[in-house]
Amino acid sequence: MTRDFAAGNYRFIPAVFQYSSGVCAFDGFEIERVCFDMLLPLAEGFAQVAQYIQAAGQRLTSFCACELRSPAAFTEAGFLAFNQHYVKTLSEWGIFDGATNPVARSNVCPEIDPPKEPSFYAFSFVRPLPGQRRVAQPDFVIAGGAEARGGSGSYPERIVRYRDLSPEGLKEKVGFTVREMESRLAAFGFGWKDTTAVQAYTVHDFHPVMTEELVRRGAARSGLTWHFARPPVVDLEFEMDCRRVSREIVV
């Protein structure tokens, strides 16, 4: 089930207070993804995001997704503290109402040369389609997801094949994550054939299962970008996100 965020001109898949599971632009709108040439610390990144969106003539509520980089995987308590800090800016922008957060997010931890503090890598926002241009499919961004089942239990209780890095364990972790992406795509009525970019985040060699779990299922339609990074919480090992975005730029 999806919900509308009218102030941002997009739909979203409700999830947890810190992020949604994905966003999709309304008819007549597109998503622009902006990647920073250099990582920007969180506060500076938010300031640059606001400046860019407003210079484009859009409201801050059009902010719909972001990609963050953190120094290292958080403990469960540390992740909660970070998220409580992160949503403060979204509250100030009129996006987070204290319970529901429409903004999709990926937050991963580079294994080599990580930032010193949580930082912005990229962000996305919604803007009207220019002129009379029409698109065959709406733009969307699916949030990062790893091998953790939904629910109220702790991460050790919910992680698929917890601390199992055997070939069989990694296969199940990758398979679970791929199917979670498919579920999120299906919530908007999409599939892998509609994506223009797919990203994977892990420090483990997942090539032995790539053909079966990714390529044959259509996830590599536009190739696959592998970031040598860990998911944001200790003991998560494999994360993915995907998108269909009309406009992408590096600043």
Give me the tens of pLDDT residue by residue for the chain, a chain 251 residues long.
899 999 999 999 999 999 999 999 999 999 999 999 999 999 999 999 999 999 999 999 999 999 999 999 999 999 999 999 999 999 999 999 999 999 999 999 999 999 999 999 999 999 999 876 666 789 999 999 999 998 888 999 999 999 999 999 999 999 999 999 999 999 999 999 999 999 999 999 999 999 999 999 999 999 999 999 999 999 999 999 999 999 999 99
Note whether 119 and 69 are within 8 A (CB): yes
- Dist CA 63 CA 51 (whole Å): 12
* pTM recorded for the entire structure: 0.96
- Domain holding 197, by residue range, is 3-250
pLDDT at 132: 64
pLDDT at 150: 87
Note whether 140 and 22 are within 8 A (CB): yes
The CATH number assigned to the domain holding 79 equals 3.30.1330.40
Note whether 170 and 202 are within 8 A (CB): no
Instruction: Please give the radius of gyration of the chain, using alpha carbons only, rounded to the nearest integer.
Output: 17
Written as one string, the DSSP assignment of 204-216 is S--HHHHIIIIIT
- Number of structural domains (the chain) is 1
Partners of 248 in beta bridges: 33
Residue 62 in 3-state DSSP?
A: helix
Helices (H), the chain: 42-55, 76-92, 155-158, 167-187, 207-210
